[in-house]
């Protein structure tokens, strides 16, 4: 078997036509376009402000933000913007995405629910305080470990 000479089959670079100044790439999905997401986040902020101003139930406001954020990928875009901040941005994103912390918090809510049902509400307060202290300690240790 003879080796292929790279000079025999030169690779021609693929040339893309230049885009007009200020226009996004036509292949970029809409959820990655800042011209769509920035007004979306401004709209979410305005709706939150209006809801709080007119005394709308907090659960309705939070539910609306969650639904809009998930359907439009607004949360992923915001996390991407946070990750662009030098040094501290990627650390914040990593801390927010630690699955162990989310799992620990979910188990804490489940145990607290069962304990309150059985009448151990004072013990639940102690337990939740310890859980929050543990989560804060894990996050601080993770950040310090990444910085050192």
In a domain, 12, yes or no: no
| Residue that finishes a domain, picked among 39, 60, 84 | 84
Q: Please report whether residue 48 resides in a domain.
A: yes
Pair (106, 74) in one structural domain: no
Q: Is there a domain that residue 46 lies in?
A: yes
Q: Is residue 61 located within the same domain as residue 44?
A: yes
Confidence of residue 8 (pLDDT cuts 50, 70, 90): low
Same domain, yes or no: 36 and 78: yes
Claim to verify: residue 125 and residue 138 sit in the same structural domain: yes
Q: Is residue 73 part of a domain?
A: yes
5 part of a folded domain? no
Asked whether residue 54 falls in the same domain as residue 102, the answer is no
Residues of the domain holding 75:
31-84
Q: Residue 92: CA atoms inside 13 Å, Cβ hemisphere, count? A: 12
pLDDT digits 0-9 by tens, 45-100:
999 999 999 999 988 998 898 888 888 888 888 888 888 888 888 888 887 777 76
Asked if 128 and 105 sit in the same domain, the reply is: yes
Number of domains observed in the structure of the chain: 2
User: What pLDDT shows up at residue 49?
Assistant: 94
11-50 pLDDT per residue, tens: 655 666 666 665 655 666 766 777 888 899 999 999 999 9
DSSP secondary structure of 29-65 = -GGG-HHHHHHHHHHHHHHHHHHHHTT--HHHHHHHH
Domain membership of residue 1 (yes or no) is: no
Q: Are residues 94 and 140 part of one domain?
A: yes
Same domain for 142 and 95? yes
| Domain-located, residue 56 | yes
pLDDT digits (tens, 9 = 90+) for 115-137: 888 888 887 788 778 878 887 88
Q: Which residue matches tokens 């709080």?
A: 52
């Amino acid at each position: 078997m003879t080796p292929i000479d790279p000079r025999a089959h030169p690779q021609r670079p693929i040339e893309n036509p230049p885009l007009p100044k200020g226009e996004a790439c036509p292949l970029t999905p809409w959820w990655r376009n800042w011209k769509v997401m920035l007004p979306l986040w401004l709209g979410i902020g305005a709706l939150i402000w209006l809801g709080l101003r007119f005394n709308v139930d907090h659960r309705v406001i939070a539910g609306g933000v969650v639904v809009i954020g998930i359907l439009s990928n607004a949360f992923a875009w915001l996390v991407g913007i946070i990750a662009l901040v030098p040094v501290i941005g990627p650390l914040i994103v990593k801390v927010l995405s630690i699955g162990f912390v989310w799992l620990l918090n979910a188990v804490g809510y489940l145990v607290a629910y069962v304990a309150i049902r059985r009448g151990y509400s004072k013990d639940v307060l102690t337990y939740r305080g310890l859980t929050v202290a543990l989560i804060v300690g894990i996050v601080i240790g993770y950040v310090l470990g990444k910085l050192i």
